[in-house]
Structure 1
Amino acid sequence: MSSSEDDRPLARGRNNGVKSSTYIPKSVDRAMDRQNPSNGQPAGISVRMGPVEPMNVDTTEANGTTNGKRKARSSITNGKNYKDASSSDEEDSKPLSKRRKTAIPEKSTMGSDSDDEPLIGGIRKPPRIRASQIGESEDSDVPIERKLAVQKQKIEKKAERTANAINAKNKSNGKPKRQSKAADSDSDVPLAKKSKVAPYAKKPRMSNGVKKEPDDDKPLKTTAAKAKSKVKNESSTPAKKRGKVVKEESPQEEAGEEEEEEYRWWEDTAKGDGTTKWTTLEHNGVLFPPEYERLPKHVKLLYDGVPVTLAPQAEEVAGFYGSMLNSTVNVENPTFNKNFFEDFQEIIKESGGAKDRDGKPVKIKEFSKCDFKPIFEWFDSERTRKKNLSKDEKKAIKEVKDKAEAPYQYCMWDGRKQKVGNFRVEPPSLFRGRGEHPKTGRVKKRVLPEQITINIGKEAKVPPPPEGHEWKEVKHDNTGTWLAMWQENINGAYKYVMLAANSDIKGQSDFKKFEKARELKKHIARIRKDYTKDLKADLMADRQRATAVYLIDKFALRAGNEKGEDEADTVGCCSLKYEHVTLKPPNIVIFDFLGKDSIRFYDEVEVDPQVFKNLKLFKKAPKTDGDEIFDRLTTSALNKHLSNYMPGLTAKVFRTYNASWTMSSLLQDMKSVGTVPEKVKDYNDANRRVAILCNHKRTVAASHAGQMEKMQEKINGLRYQQWRLRQQMLDLDSKQKKKRGADFFQRDKDLDDEWVLQHQAFLVDEQRTKITKKFEKENEKLKAEGGKEMKDKELDERLKDADDLAKQFKKENKTGKVEAEGKGPTIEKIEANIEKLEQRIRTMKIQYEDKEGNKEVALGTSKINYIDPRLTVVFSKKFNVPIERFFSKTLREKFDWAVKSVDETWEF
């Protein structure tokens, strides 16, 4: 290449941005090497975790541009956090944190199981990772970031050795061979051939976890019976009994039900990954939301102080906004209000306009003059009314709801009864989105049958649409796993009715996902070797691709796709722009951008010096804000390149592989002992390392501080109980003070007199609440049985126990003595009770440290989406911890295949 070509300016590229030159001159490479010498330290680990404040760390030298410091991104609004199971903390009684201050414990370790949340700009810089967060000793002289980097390098080297061993075995004699134990289960040997058990196993009265029910007149009847018979006849492998599912039933029920075969699809070689997904399919369509019910006549929208009457369509939309005035994160968002009002005005216009009491037209032009408070107050009163319904009334409402939903909950898929997931058509509402979505506040319109396409078997009865309507289309697409579909109006996305997470089809999808990640372990050494070599490639496209794969592999970045103008400005690795990457010599890279679901991705990482040099080159002037860093790379091109290594390999498989391989490596070296809570903590410590090493982070939840204070209050309450028991020992034997020492009987300093008074008041109120709830429950039972309800006088009599407790506390505070309680109290009995409380305190402290340590790490994301669930099952069986401690009921159903398919010797 000539010198003139070496120095030529970068060209204009796609999106009217600056395009990198095709080749990288050797002179430029050598000059940059002299500017950024290596520090000899291992790279590939996050330096910082957690909430961040906007930063201005870029310098002219760091960015390689004549521009000044880049503008920091403003903080991002909160997104929703969805959980598989709500924390039990939320169900407990009101914490004393509302009434007093409590002691804050020292550094701790673990936390909540929630999914990803937006990383929001905070009021401080993100703290460095503490040793206590990953179970390391804090007194080491080695920085924790360096420890993790070294550990990650060891895990990666182990992966390369495993890949080389697998490939060496497979190449011998030119034939695939069974792998070693460490990599065995992903060999070319089909799962069913490895297993001694046939894919069908006897199971009492259950078919995939669904209780056998009598046939009715619905269209699921006749074909289901035929298909079921067909499946049994076609099975060429004799069924064997294996692990019956135990369920308590009456003798009559047990005698009246026949045994059915449990389909263990993960052991079935008959069904490959062909295009045909089903032969017969029957279902009852979708469940539509109820029609809109108008507001009472006295509930009106006020415009400029005047009550206005709206057509039903417009009134319904006004109700959407009015009912959520308490959701400040939305109604105080200017974009949300602007979008809503535009749609609201359009709907008012289409439905005939607004009118005052006299029927005169009212033109609604200004959002600021709209008063939705009367609507909010009505909806709020309705929420309170429903909340205060009796148990019987709530039960009756639920029965009506369950009866209406029953026909849609199951379908017959190749003769097997399968649970349907989202069979309900989403009701109209206001779109909220996540983060800074540009369409937040838009009206999600009611979905009509004319928009819905039904997918069903040719021989099955097509479910009838609602009266007066027709389906958009009826298809018989046996290559698809969807039952119905329609297009929503906000983003034009297609919504599908699919099978539930615990169905065979969904389970197979998860199974294939993790098996694909296991397949990657055969190729990871070659992939890393190739992209490390290409980091120095002369061709710009090759160097950009290698750098992108490095970032995806090391830091769990998503690949990213180009977005339209009306979509949220979210990016991934391939679509990173100049302003999203900040460089700090010698090898620190700061990422700050909106990722998937408009969740802010912020991380400060140490990278390989060559990667740092490449990123500096990709940001070379005249590039500036808005220009793409990887301007010669697209996601499709990257995935096409990866597929050359392994069929079906895409960038996202790296996230699953790295998480599962890391967890597998940690479990192999783990020796978990102690109580169940201690073993759970060991698992969570390993999961935390996976989350940190694979960059699965979240912001601290808004409710975290309150939950931690509530837990600390419970611990303090147990400590107070211990103190009272020690005082009771003195009441029985005053010589105990001399025998055990005065310190044994001292109350902890943080449990001062003010705290004690407040805690005693809390205990009295708690007892009153328990007595009242028990009284109401007994009355409901009497009423249901036709008996005579107890009078309020009986409640007053029972509440005297709470009054007596208050008097007892008052006496203790006055005299400074606590009288021994219980029948026949002795020193030995009190000592045993103190030890029981001590055990409870230890357990709660472990849980506290768990919750605190994980406040900035998304354990749920790793455990559910990226770590092979079979590894969790291995831990459960190896260390004798109930699987319920890791998987909720929903997850146990979702990962039923994992729970039943492996033992403690299985390896990823």
Structure 2
Amino acid sequence: MSSDSDDMPLAKSNGRVSEAHISKAVDKAMDKAGARSDYAPAGVSIRNGPVIEDSMDVDEPLTNGNAKRKARTSIGKAVNYKDDGSDGDSDAKPLAKRQKTKKVVNSDSDDEPLASKKTGRLPPKASETAIGEESSEDDEPLNTKLAKQKASIEKKAAKEAKEIRAKESKAKKPTPKKVMKKEESDSEEDVKPAKKRKSNGASATKKTNGVKKEASSDSDVPLKKKAAAKKSNVKNEKTSPIKKGKGKKDESEEAEEVYKWWDAPKKEDDSIKWDTLQHNGVVFPPEYEPLPKNVKLLYDGVPVTLSIEAEEVASFFGAMLNSTHNVGNPTFQKNFFTDFTEELKKTGGAKDKDGNKVSIKDFSKLDFKRIFEYYDGKSTERKARSTAEKKAEKAAKDEIEAPYTHCTWDGRKEQVGNFRVEPPGLFRGRGEHPKTGRVKKRVLPEQITINIGKDAMVPSPPEGHKWKAVQHDNKATWLAMWQENINGAYKYVMLAAKSSIKGQSDFKKFEKARELKKHIDRIRKDYTKDLHSELMADRQRATAVYLIDKFALRAGNEKDAENEAETVGCCSLKFEHITLKPPNTVIFDFLGKDSIRFYDEVTVDPQVFKNLKIFKKSPKKDGDDIFDRLNTGQLNKHLTNYMPGLSAKVFRTYNASFTMSTLLKELQNVDISLQEKVKLYNDCNRKVAILCNHKRTVGASHEAQMEKMGDRIKGLKYQKWRTKQMILDIDPKQKKKKGADFFELDEELDEAWILEHQAFLVQELRTKIEKKFQKENEKLVADGEKEMKAKELEERLKVADDLEKKFKKENKSKKVEAEGKGPTVEKYEAATKKLDERIATMLLQAEDREGNKEVALGTSKINYIDPRLTVVFAKKFDVPIEKFFSKTLREKFNWAIDSIADEDDWEF
């Protein structure tokens, strides 16, 4: 879809701007410069493989080196951590290659690659085995396999889009004979809408190619909220979750009654969000508690006295001295010191013990150790409290907050999300935020606007204060609002994620992505054509849509540059943010959402590579825009020509959900274990994250978790060996019957490890006994009874002493005596089989966790994959929904679980 005018206004005016038209001479020159036949497969990330250096680099190669690898010992034959770089046999496929990383910035904001600029290292590369079920017998490069799979999915998408449009077109042109019947049908629908409507997670719908078409999704305004029916006719019902896990209590019995908005009739005016609204406002943080007189901030070794306001700011920094990631950051220190000295100026400055003014000008001379020790001591005291004391404090806090946790929305009870006003402190931010360390000021009632029903009782502000304003806006879904001082952003008190309002918002988001199915082929066809356009604006727009569609880049330009950090997205990329490496590799390196570093190496279509070379052509240099004739508003306006309400962000949800849907359809319900079914789902989820470019850095704790899991697997193997030895103790003839190999110790379990594990088992038993003794004593005290004496604990600990003696005897005699009541060979054989099953399950879990280390499955599953796909998988494979959704997520996606509970043919 080309521009109507050659004189399209420039999207941006700063820096050097590209020519309005791309001459044929420039096109030919770029074609000649990039004439290569060995293009890497386009459309995939290649951080999981090396980037070959090339003498024809368009840009200077990056100086960041790859992180070094750390070899590990195996935790089992099926789980190999050796970094040999080979594929090996499928049965002994390595889980993934390990990497040593420095500081890791964890983020739950998105699945984009994250890394700290300070480390000077690139994010770890995805391992080849992280993809999942790739054939080890096939020598085809991983990138080629992924590119082919992605291309296959896109072909299916194009075919399905054409089929959907064809069926809809056919449905709109009824034959003359059927016209009357259709009119009669429509009339019946108007008279009896309740009987015609089917619970499908939407309003009344008709199936088209197995796809439910939303009755109305033509605008990008919030989804039409479904009103509660008359109390006499419609009752709030409890939803019945899919198959529950064995032995688990049915949580729905204790859950609050759920408003089934997906079954309720629609309101005529969807802009009206509520008719009546009552709530109790917000909970303010406690007032500042001054430091004891003997606890002072030191400046150049001299204790200084501060005003209460300045002391509070100093305590913010002092209390977090153990957070070296923050307090050791020069930007954090600089911002804090600026705000601290400003507070000193306002409140009279600092004074020594004689009342003389102390001029604080050098941050390095400040000593917060006494303040830290004071707060650290208080923290230790809190942790040392008994369980009974902690429970009592929590109960008291819950009682105070109880009136604020829920509101009454159109007569029904709805849970409020963030009803607590954030306490003052130091702003930390995400990633490399330039304002980290700034003082977040205390929010006063005078800054807060309350939104409530006209006839409702307005909550009272704290004594001596008043609200900034009280309004009755029934087109807004927030209950309270104020502006914070760091970025000037507005903070809102909203309903909880499990509320009907949030549920409708999620539903609408996924339905919008489903609607994109009908148009995706035309969009891709058009932007592929416009990649060759003579108009610079059209070519830039087509290239941007390509990058957003293929690599899940955010659109960008969605911020106030004056109040927020210098973060960018696709449309706001600068010259320095991309490096081009022939023949078709693009390296992205920029600060994305939340100031988190986005780094990725991707292969693109040769024409896209050529376009980016043109967009970076001299005289452009660092600081200049890549897409200088495009902004997010223009891009989204263009997309609405295809579909009302379509914006760049819909592509992320569509690509993740459609890819997941395609992968799940290919699965066969074979006879496998529950854990294997869960892994099957996770493998699909992992592929979605990789194919849609949703990645994360390896968590700092991953290495330790894998080692712990490895030790647990070894522990089970040791337990299995001891059980087999007990068989020989009962019947030595079994060695000849079963063969000596059956009773051999696993090769991983050497003598040193066994001694260490035995000591661990003894200590673990002692710890359990001590904890149980302590809990029983706490209960006795709570009930007004006497505590048990220490002698009782000594008696109980003899069990651990006996176990230690038993291990020593076994190590000396090399013989394990039978344990338990009525030991038999059959009992021990059954125990061995159970241990084999547990080992197999844990090996699968270890492989699954290792494969997921660089992919944020949780974020993909919660934010980008339609939850109804997870529900469909759980039904098809007879897996408890709890295996995929926690209790919180089951509440959040209650609409997805319930709305297709009776449907076996639902499709994304």
CA distance in 2, matches of 1:274, 1:527: 29
Match of 1:69 in 2: 60
For 1:549, the aligned partner's letter is: V
- The offset of 1:444, in angstroms, is 0.2
Percent identical among aligned pairs is 64
Kept in 1: contact 2:336–2:438 (CA 8 A): yes
Q: After TM superposition, give the deviation of residue 153 of structure 1 in Å.
A: 0.9
1:172-321 matches, cutoff 5 A: 172=170, 174=172, 195-196=197-198, 233=230, 262-271=258-267, 274-321=270-317
How do 1:147-186 residues align onto structure 2 when only pairs under 5 Å count?
A: 147-172=145-170, 174=172
CA shift digits 1:340-385 (9 cap, x unpaired): 1111111122222222222222222211111111111111111111
Instruction: Work out whether residues 126 and 854 of structure 2, in 8 Å CA contact, stay in contact via their aligned partners in 1.
Output: no
TM-score (norm 1): 0.85
Other-structure match for 1:328: 324
Shift of 1:263: 2.9
Paired with 1:402 and 1:664, the residues of 2 have a C-alpha distance of 42
Q: What corresponds to 2:742 in structure 1?
A: 744
Q: CA deviation at 1:312?
A: 1.5
Which of residues 633, 636, 640 in structure 1 aligns to 2:633?
636
Say whether residues 1:648 and 2:650 are aligned partners. Answer: no
The 3 A distance-change label for structure 1 pair 786 and 580 is same
Equivalent residue, structure 1, for 2:582: 585
Letter paired with 1:377: E
**What displacement does 1:471 show?**
0.5
370-379 or 677-686, which deviates more: 370-379
Structure 1 residue 867: Cα displacement: 0.3
In structure 2, C-alpha distance between the alignment counterparts of 1:306 and 1:128, rounded to whole Å: 53
Q: Distance in 1 between matches of 2:669 and 2:200?
A: 34
Tell me the residue number matched to 2:613.
616
Please tell me the residue identity of whatever aligns with 1:635: T
Distance of aligned partners of 1:790 and 1:259 in 2 relative to their CA distance in 1, 3 Å threshold: closer
Q: 1:258 and 1:784 mapped to 2: Cα distance? A: 27
Instruction: Tell me, yes or no, if the aligned pair for 1:110 and 1:133 is still in contact at 8 Å.
Output: no
Q: Say whether the 8 Å CA contact 1:103–1:750 is kept in structure 2.
A: no
Q: Which amino acid aligns with 1:327?
A: S
Structure-2 residue corresponding to 1:478: 474
Task: Give the match's secondary structure for 1:345.
Answer: helix
CA separation of 1:470 and 1:339: change in aligned 2, threshold 3 A: same
In 2, the alpha carbon distance for the partners of 1:170 and 1:779 equals 71
> Are the aligned partners of 2:282 and 2:404 in contact in 1 as well (CA < 8 Å)?
yes
Contact 2:553-2:570 within 8 A present in 1 as well: yes
Q: Secondary structure at the match of 2:821?
A: coil
- Deviation of the 1:739 alpha carbon: 2.8
- Listed one character per residue, the Cα deviations across residues 395-430 of structure 1 (whole Å, up to 9, x for unaligned) are 110011001111111111111111100000000010
Q: Deviations over 1:90-119 (max 9, x none)?
A: xxxxxx99xxxx995762279999764723
Q: Give the Cα separation in 1 of the matches to 2:905 and 2:732.
A: 58
Of 529, 532, 543, which residue of structure 2 is paired with 1:547?
543
Per the alignment, do residues 298 and 600 of structure 1 end up closer, same or farther by CA in structure 2, a change over 3 Å counting? same
SS of the counterpart of 2:230? Answer: helix
Question: 1:725-740 alignment to 2 at 5 Å?
Answer: 725-740=723-738
Query: Which among 713, 722, 742 is matched to residue 724 of structure 1?
Result: 722
1:566 is displaced (CA, Å) by 5.8
Change beyond 3 A, Cα 1:320–1:806: same
Shift of 1:191: 11
| Partner residue, 1:758 | 756
Question: Partners of 2:498 and 2:132 in 1: how far apart?
Answer: 33
Opposite residue 639 of structure 1, the aligned amino acid is: N
The answer as to whether partners of 1:13 and 1:19 remain within 8 angstroms in 2 is: no
Q: Which amino acid aligns with 2:756?
A: Q
1:810-852 deviation digits (Å, cap 9, x = unpaired): 1111221111111121221111111111111111111101110
Shift of 1:571: 1.0
> CA 1:194–1:845 in 2, change beyond 3 Å: closer, same or farther?
farther
Match of 1:810 among 808, 811, 823: 808
Offset at 1:506? 0.7
**What is the match of residue 118 of structure 1?**
114
* CA–CA separation in structure 1 for the residues paired with 2:321 and 2:629: 47
| Cα distance in 1 for residues equivalent to 2:170 and 2:10 | 51
Deviations 1:541-598 (A, max 9, x none): 0010011101111111110116625632211111111111122222221212111112
Q: Does 1:567 align with 2:558?
A: no
- Cα separation, 2, equivalents of 1:836 and 1:259: 35
User: Do the aligned partners of 1:108 and 1:133 also contact (CA within 8 Å) in 2?
Assistant: no
> Would the aligned equivalents of 1:57 and 1:69 in 2 still touch at CA under 8 Å?
no
Shift in CA distance, 41/267, structure 1 to aligned 2, threshold 3 Å: farther
For residues 505 and 164 of structure 1, the distance between their equivalents in structure 2, rounded to whole angstroms, comes to 34
Residue 138 of structure 1, CA deviation: 2.1
Alignment partners' CA distance in 2, 1:846 and 1:113: 26
Match of 1:93 in 2: none
**Residue type of the alignment partner of 1:500:** A
Q: Secondary structure at the match of 1:750?
A: coil
Shift of 1:233: 3.3
Aligned equivalents of 1:698, 1:532: Cα separation in 2:
29
Q: CA deviation at 1:41?
A: 6.3
In the TM superposition, residue 679 of structure 1 has moved relative to its aligned partner by: 0.6
1:605 to 2:596 alignment: no
Further displaced range: 373-382 or 737-746:
737-746
Contact 1:57–1:582 (CA under 8 A) maintained in structure 2: no
TM-score, structure 2 as length reference: 0.85
CA shift for structure 1 position 707: 0.6
- Give 5+ residue unaligned stretches, structure 1: 1-10, 77-95, 178-187, 201-229, 247-256
Give unmatched runs, 5+ long, in structure 2.
1-8, 68-72, 83-92, 99-105, 176-188, 203-226, 243-252
Does the Cα contact within 8 Å between 2:262 and 2:895 map onto a contact in 1?
yes
1:743–1:721 distance in 2 versus 1, CA, 3 Å: same
Aligned pair 1:395/2:382, yes or no?
no
Q: Is the 8 A contact 1:135 1:685 kept in 2?
A: yes
Number of the residue aligned with 2:907: 907
Q: Report the AA paired with residue 659 of structure 1.
A: A
| Distance in 1 of aligned mates of 2:155 and 2:26 | 32
Distance 1:855 1:722 in 2: 29
Contact 2:200 2:899 in 1 (8 A): no
Q: 1:102-137: per-residue Cα shift (whole Å, max 9, x none)?
A: 995762279999764723467678546414532212
Distance of 1:162 and 1:802 partners within structure 2: 65
C-alpha distance in structure 2 between counterparts of 1:876 and 1:503, whole Å: 23
Counterpart of 2:25 in structure 1 is: 27
Offset, 1:904: 3.9
**1:461–1:110 CA distance, 2 compared to 1 (3 A):** farther
Q: 1:861 to 1:735 in 2, by over 3 A?
A: same
Find the residue that maps to 1:330 and give its secondary structure. Answer: helix
Once the two structures are superposed, residues 853-875 of structure 1 have per-residue CA deviations (whole angstroms, 9 ceiling, x without a partner) of: 11111111210100001111111
Correspondence for 2:450 among 442, 445, 454: 454
Q: Is the 8 A contact 2:10 2:629 kept in 1?
A: no
- Residue of structure 1 in register with 2:701 after alignment: 703
| Closer/same/farther in 2, CA of residues 679 and 690 from structure 1, 3 Å limit | same
Residue 669 of structure 1 aligns with which residue? Answer: 666
Q: Give CA deviations for 1:653-701 in whole Å, capped at 9, x if unaligned.
A: 0000000000011111112441111111000000001000110000011
Structure 1 stretch displaced more, 772-781 or 632-641: 772-781
Alpha-carbon distance between aligned partners in 2 of 1:663 and 1:516, rounded to the nearest angstrom: 16
1:626 aligns with 2:623: yes
Aligned pair in 2 of structure 1 residues 262, 847: CA closer, same or farther (>3 Å)? closer
Question: Is the 1:545–1:638 contact (alpha carbons within 8 Å) kept by the matching residues of 2?
Answer: yes
Counterpart in the other structure of 1:212: none
* Superposition map of 1:74-113 within 5 A: 104=81, 107-108=94-95
How many residues align? The count is: 821
Q: Are 2:43 and 2:605, in contact at CA under 8 Å, matched by a contact in 1?
A: no
What SS does structure 2 have at the residue aligned with 1:748?
coil
Which residue pairs with 2:381 in the alignment? 385
In structure 2, how many angstroms separate the alpha carbons of the residues matched to 1:599 and 1:461?
43
Residue 259 (structure 1) shift: 14
